[in-house]
Amino acid sequence: MEAAEVRTVLQKNLAPGLLRGALGASGSDFRVTGAGANAGAQVALLVVQYRDKKTAADRATSTAALGGYFRRTKILTRFSCAAAGSDLVVAFTESSGNADLVRLVERLPRLVASARDAGSTPDCAGKPDRREP
């Protein structure tokens, strides 16, 4: 996702205040195509960078108060968020009818935060990689 698109999602669907004091914002959108139950499934991950941990934690608290669904959308769009150091991590899915993706969205920000707090990043198997980036 382009930075402008990330900013639009944050301002329109979450809260314009999330960008106040932000140093940057980035995101990735993942889509599954093909046949089967997960065809057309979508998950996105947004990261907003702040100067300090307190700002990220405050923004996570205020965002969580929105109740877990985007505002001003035609379809229910489930999201969750967590502070990860000085970053706010937001995961969301437009595929709210897919229970597996909803569980992923509910857990993903905390997994990112846990990995950062542990000083590691998970590898593809979910095992911590203790090497420095």
> Per-residue pLDDT tens for 41-84?
899 999 999 999 999 999 999 998 888 999 988 888 999 999 99
Compute the CA torsion angle 4, 96, 41, 71 (nearest 10 deg): -10
Instruction: Tell me the pTM.
Output: 0.81
pLDDT of residue 35: 60
How far is residue 66 CA from its own chain's centroid?
14
Asked whether residue 25 is assigned to any structural domain, the reply reads yes
- Say if 127 falls within a structural domain: no
pLDDT tens per residue across span 74-111: 888 999 999 999 999 999 998 888 888 888 889 988 88
* 17, pLDDT greater than 60: yes
Confidence of residue 119 (pLDDT cuts 50, 70, 90): low
Is 131 within the bounds of a domain? Answer: no
pLDDT number for residue 123: 44
Task: Determine, yes or no, domain membership for 64.
Answer: yes
Whether 133 is in a domain gets the answer no
Contact (Cβ atoms closer than 8 angstroms) between residue 46 and residue 27: yes
The domain of 17 spans 3-122
Q: Give the count of beta carbons closer than 10 Å to the beta carbon of residue 29.
A: 15
Number of domains in the chain: 1
